[in-house]
Structure 1
């Protein structure tokens, strides 16, 4: 069978203004971590990058955000090539503003010694020309956008719950108004009800701000409620790709079926913030 990702139609003009990845490759020693990965993420869309540990997901997104340089292939955002090394601090900062990342562990982006408001303001100080009063006002707006108030703003990260810390990490990422938000297992460490709250928040932000999401996960239980399309990786290669409904309901590749069969629970109902029970299981 022809690989799923080669059967997709050419992106339209609108999609080309988004994130376009073509033939991405990365080798570490004798291991081919990423091998000919291609996809398009249109403005305002959400693509789920799915696979088990070691499938190449993390290496792929590290190349997208500039933490790793690809051995081959191209990464373009709004028509601009991001594959080559950035020339100078200004270009590095500009690229960082375009694609922001939210990690599974918020402590990767939060200084545990600094209050939440200052953590968010640090990003604004680095990437904007706002004066102190303007930065403080913007911090309040961002924290309100993710459902946090003055009490959380004054707290140290360790005083917050896991869900609250993840909201702070999202606020930091949104501070520079990115085109693309990479969510790397961003809800994996949260319990069921908090996962649903964060997913609902992310859906609201995407509708209101028009940001594109690359949702990186090994858990297909949440993909249906966040993704328009799904890209399945195995051993660094794309084995299946297509609309989320088709991939989840009628998977073509045995590996995709294996991932679906390993999901302990299916059928999230984000609106009720509780997982539905699947009567067929």
Structure 2
């Protein structure tokens, strides 16, 4: 990893009293949590619970109205001063969105997409960038054929692998995954979750996994935070919260999870990118 500098204050991501209002509506109300280095925290709740607004504030896509966000002791709450600081913050926390097709430029090949990120954020020359692109593709289980493809030529799972590779290119400390498997078929969801577990185990990166689907939480997280109407109702180790929930809302969420025929990752909603197509064998970790 490139990040070796030290800073005063607790390590990891520390969020304290985060607040956000839109007019008369309070979207996030005093959310606090800590993600230790290399940890994995799931933020769960129904649509409108405030979970996506929370993480958008962490990555700088929304401005908080109150509270603090610190990473390894450095305050990220104030507005970044200049382009260099904005890029430095972007490298620290990266985000993978729900729909990989919308987050990828349809005119740019996979190689070009990853090379663009490396040119923006690193001082690598062309040869070094080419080598790094190959490493990233290998890390997410993609090969030479996918490297020269445009997003429309890839399956949904392959596109999400590209989005993950792009986020990993800058060696972030924290990866935010906002419903990152929700738009994929059940079997592809399981593959992506396996991929993410392997990356975390090898790299020590921290995960914030945003989901409405408690069926995936036990497979991706150490800790879980339950949000409703922008407020934290319950938090703690995954096994404790899921096996012995204290709040009625958490029990309600758990009761809504199907008990039989369930593959970790939730119900699939989109296919593999074309009728009758299965996943490319090279996309399986």
Aligned Cα RMSD in Å?
2.0
The reply on whether 1:164 has 2:158 as its aligned counterpart is: yes
Q: Which ranges in structure 2 are unaligned for 5 or more consecutive residues?
A: 1-6, 268-285
How far off its partner does 1:110 sit? 1.1
- Give the TM-score, by structure 1 length: 0.89
Q: Which residue of 1 aligns with 2:251?
A: 257
Structure 1 residues 127 and 193: alpha-carbon distance in aligned structure 2, compared to 1, 3 A threshold: same
- Alignment length, in residue pairs? 261
| Cα offset, 1:108, TM superposition | 3.5
Is the alpha carbon distance of 1:22 and 1:134 closer, same or farther for their aligned partners in structure 2, counting shifts above 3 Å? same
Deviations 1:137-157 (A, max 9, x none): 100000000000000000111
Q: Secondary structure at the match of 2:208?
A: strand
Q: Distance in 2 between matches of 1:176 and 1:141?
A: 13
Residue aligning to 1:234: 228
- CA–CA distance in 1 between the matches of 2:144 and 2:9? 39
1:140 alignment partner in structure 2? 134
Instruction: Choose the corresponding residue for 1:63, options 51, 57, 66.
Output: 57
Q: CA deviation at 1:263?
A: 1.0
- Is the contact made by 2:216 and 2:266 (CA closer than 8 Å) also made in structure 1? no
TM-score under structure 2 length normalisation: 0.88
Once the two structures are superposed, what CA deviation does each residue of 1:203-259 show, in whole Å capped at 9, x if it has no partner?
A: 000010000000000000010011000000000000000000011111110110111
Instruction: State whether residues 193 and 274 of structure 1, in contact with CA within 8 Å, keep that contact through their aligned partners in structure 2.
Output: no
Partner in structure 2 of residue 44 of structure 1? 38
> Which of these residues, 212, 216, 222, is aligned with residue 222 of structure 1?
216
Q: Deviations over 1:101-139 (max 9, x none)?
A: 000101233111111110111100100000111111100
- The alignment partner of 1:130 has SS state of coil
Indicate yes or no: 2:180 matched with 1:186.
Answer: yes
Checking the alignment, whether the CA contact within 8 Å between 2:175 and 2:208 is kept in structure 1 is yes
Structure-2 residue corresponding to 1:81 = 75
Contact 2:13-2:69 at 8 Å conserved across structures:
yes
The verdict on how the C-alpha distance between 1:14 and 1:175 changes in structure 2, with shifts beyond 3 A counting, is same
* Structure 1 CA distance for aligned equivalents of residues 143 and 216 of structure 2: 27
Structure 1 residues 105 and 126: alpha-carbon distance in aligned structure 2, compared to 1, 3 A threshold: same
Partners of 2:65 and 2:28 in 1: CA distance: 9
SS for the counterpart of 1:224 is: helix
Aligned residues of 1:102 and 1:170 also touching (Cα < 8 A): yes
**Could you say if the C-alpha distance between residues 244 and 266 of structure 1 is closer, same or farther in structure 2, counting changes exceeding 3 Å?**
farther
